[in-house]
Structures are given as C-alpha cells and as structure tokens.
Amino acid sequence: MEKKEVAIIGGGAIGLCAAYYLIKCGRQVTIIDQNPAADETSCSFGNAGLIVPSHLVPLAAPGVITKGLQWMLDAESPFYIKPRLNLELISWLWEFYKASSHDRVMQAAPILRDLNVGSKALLSEMSNDEHFYFEVEEKGLLILCKTQKYLNKEGKNAEMANQLGVRAEVLNVEQVNALLPSFEPAACGGVYYPDDAHIIPGDFMQELRKWLTSHGAEFISNLSVEALEGRNGKIEQLIAKGKKIGVSQVVLTSGAWTSLLLRSVGIKLPLQAGKGYNLTLPNPPKTVDLPLLLGESKVAVTPMGDSLRFAGTMEIAGIDLNINPKRIAGIKKAIKKYLPAFDDSWVSDVSPWAGLRPCTPDGLPYIGRSTAFNNLTVATGHAMLGLSLSPITGKLVSEIISEEKPSIDLSLLHPERFN
C-alpha cells in the first residue's frame, strides 16, 4: 500500500498553512477534506477576517460561565449554550469553569500574545511574497462600548495589553465618532487597537490553495475520514468510505470534528463546536473604514472590498449547522443598537451563513504531538482565532514534525493537558 508522507485531515486555514510550511521544509503533503474543493461553507471562509494581536483574554474568563448560564434563557444572546443532557458537554463546562479564573487568564495572556503577534508577522511575510495576491489591511480594530461599565472593563484589558507590548488606546465619544463619520455610533467610548488588521478570508484561502497546488500538494476533496487505525504507537492507516489510506505522518486540523476522529484511537479531547453566524452585505449603502467589535454584543463588523460583513455569536449546540433564526435576529438587534443608521432592509435579501468553531475548555488551542502515537500531531481548538492563528500554527506543526525546537513554548497547548 502506498503511504502518504504527511496526511493533513482538514482543509481549512490551519490545514493549508500547515501544508505550506511543511512543503517549505521539503515534505510531500496530502490534504484530505470532507468538503468539496474550495467550499465556502467552511469556517475559514465565513469568519470575520480579523487578525488580532489584541486578543489576549481567552474565552474562559472570569464571569463568562455565569453569563452563559444566564443567557441560556435567551437564544438571541451573544454566548448561548443550548440546554441538553450530554456528558461531554457537562465535563467541558466543568473544565471551562475551572479555567475561568484571573490567575488562568494571566497565565494564558502571554502565550496568546506570542501566538497572535507571531502569526501576524508570518501573515505579512506571506502577503509580501510575489506569489501571493491577497492584502493585509493594517487599519486596527475599534471596540465600541455601549455602557461606562463595559468601557471600564475594556479599559482594564487595554491596560494589560499595553503592559504586554500590544498597543491599545481608550477613546472618548468624540474620538470614536471621528473614526466612524458614516454611522454616528451610539457608544459612550471605545478601545482602539492600532496593530490589529484584517483580510478577506476567501482571497487568502484561494491564494494558499493555488500556491500549494503549484508546489505539488495533493488535494483529496469531498472525502470524510471516519477513523484512524493505530498500532505499536503509530497511526498506520486512515479509514474513509471503507478504504484504507496508509500514512507516515498525520496532522489533525479537522476543527470541531477532531475529537470524533481521536475517539477512534481511544484519545479523549475535550472540544465543543461553537456555532458562529455572519451576514455579508454586498455594496452596502454605508460602510466603515476599519473593523469594529460591538463590545457587549460580541458582533464584528468588517469591511471586505465592496462588501460589509457582520459576524458573531457563540452557540454551543453540538455538531449542528442549522441556522437558528433567533441568533440572526440577535445580530441584527446588536447592529441597530450600536449603529442606529443601520436598517434591517439592507440585509433582507442576504442569506445567513453558519460555521462551527472548535472550542477548548480553557480558551487555548491544542497544538502538539500525541504521546500515544508519535506520528500524530493535533492542531485545533482555536475557536474565533482560527484564521488569525493559522500561519503560526502551520509553522509550529512543521517544526513538530521536523523535530525542531518550536518557535513558541507549547507546554500550555498540549492536546492531552486535560487527561
């Protein structure tokens, strides 16, 4: 049986970036994806396109679990946990609760900084390569705050960011209005992160696929890997539609589906699918010059060429891509609350999109080699940061497989840290 030198299961941004850096190391890669080629339903295409060195506070932060439990009664809320009796969800929530402390946040913030800052630098290198045609727009990110209480909270995050070397500025109403002349936002102030950036996700993905194809990568699309087969400390084969595929190295970049694959070889990976939604408006009547985050409502607003994308919400509801109309209604209400000039009629003909983000209990991704199988590397659990962290994750995967010293300390990111 012919063996694939490196089989990457999952063709999203992280899988493609892993392939990119592995090819640069001289490896032959095969990317296997359950979706059709360049399928824009994947999470890597439908996200907000944000590159965020500012994202230093993990999802598991003090107060989030309490808010989440309160919001269980409100299907339009920013963070919604669908009530259900599920042992894996209960276990995940317990680990989430334990991770939601000030000490754990302070432990996580430096590693998130290193990942995000390092990833942005790698992305800039890629965009400057003459073989890539996508743009990194360096316009920063503005977080709008509706209430003084929330502005005070974001102000503390800004203070921590500055202490960690990530620039942040707290703005008053006049300064916020000056940045958004078209919309006259209803906010009491905001926080501006000048070093954040944004890209058009589809452009980035298409350019990566072109580069990989021209450099010998093999793509197998529309094929769902159902199980792994391991023996004597190695993954030997992948099982897909009754066929067996021999492998020398395996990289799991399968997003929310990763834990299902690992279960086939007896590895437990605490992971929940967090559904996010977007509404992408072509040729909007009004637009913004820079990306926004509607603070309390957790909705991102990103200009993407001639379009404007509204993306947000976190819905912990299992592997389920059905559109929940109440979640879309929540996004529309949030936009109107912060940007009164917005009119629902702008998106009346827009089809909503939904994608699943892989969420770990502590808000840190899983990046590392399995201790049970020495040819198995896991890279998932990036939640809202999959696109932002894809370059650095791809580079780290290549370093792990090449047995080089990782660019960043991975001790807090090991896939088996909850076992």
Q: Could you tell me the CATH number of the domain that includes residue 112? A: 3.50.50.60
At 73 the pLDDT is 66
At 130 the pLDDT is 82
**pTM of the entire structure?**
0.96
- Residue 121 placed within a domain: yes
Picking from 316, 319, 312, the residue whose alpha carbon sits closest to that of residue 46 is: 312
**Per mean pLDDT, which range of 38-47, 142-151, 245-254 is the poorest?**
38-47
Average pLDDT over residues 297-308: 96
Which amino acid would we find at residue 360? T
Which token pair is 404?
Answer: 């080089």
Instruction: Identify whether the C-beta of residue 379 lies closer than 8 Å to the C-beta of residue 119.
Output: no
Residue 72 confidence (pLDDT) above 70: no
Residue 89 confidence (pLDDT) above 90: yes
- Residue 379 placed within a domain: yes
Average pLDDT over residues 23-27: 97
Residue 314 confidence (pLDDT) above 70: yes
- Residue 419 placed within a domain: no
Instruction: Identify whether the C-beta of residue 33 lies closer than 8 Å to the C-beta of residue 220.
Output: yes
Crossing angle (nearest 10°) for helices 13-24 and 390-401: 50
Residue 388 confidence (pLDDT) above 80: yes
pLDDT band at 80 (very low <50, low <70, confident <90, very high): confident
- Residue 17 placed within a domain: yes
> Which CA distances in Å does 97 have to 266, 275, 346?
25, 20, 39
The residue with tokens 């020495």 is 374
- Residue 354 placed within a domain: yes
Burial 366-381 (b: 16+ CB within 10 A, else e): bbbbbebbebbbbbbb
Average pLDDT over residues 51-75: 82
- Residue 255 placed within a domain: yes
Encode pLDDT of 400-409 as tens digits. Answer: 999 999 999 9
At 61 the pLDDT is 86
Encode pLDDT of 333-373 as tens digits. Answer: 999 999 999 988 898 889 999 999 999 999 999 999 999 99
Residue 39 confidence (pLDDT) above 70: no
Picking from 85, 141, 36, 144, the residue whose alpha carbon sits closest to that of residue 388 is: 141
At 182 the pLDDT is 86
What is the distance between the alpha carbons of residues 18 and 34, in angstroms, rounded to a whole number?
17
- Residue 64 placed within a domain: yes
The residue with tokens 């086939």 is 264
Domain residue limits at 52: 3-413
Residue 2 confidence (pLDDT) above 80: no
Residue 66 confidence (pLDDT) above 80: no
Average pLDDT over residues 172-200: 96
Residue 68 confidence (pLDDT) above 80: no
Domain count, the chain: 1
Encode pLDDT of 123-171 as tens digits. Answer: 999 999 888 999 999 999 999 999 999 999 999 999 999 999 999 999 9
pLDDT band at 308 (very low <50, low <70, confident <90, very high): very high
- Residue 249 placed within a domain: yes
What is the distance between the alpha carbons of residues 293 and 289, in angstroms, rounded to a whole number?
13
Q: What are the start-end ranges of the H helices in 230-281?
A: 258-263
Average pLDDT in the chain: 94
At 278 the pLDDT is 96
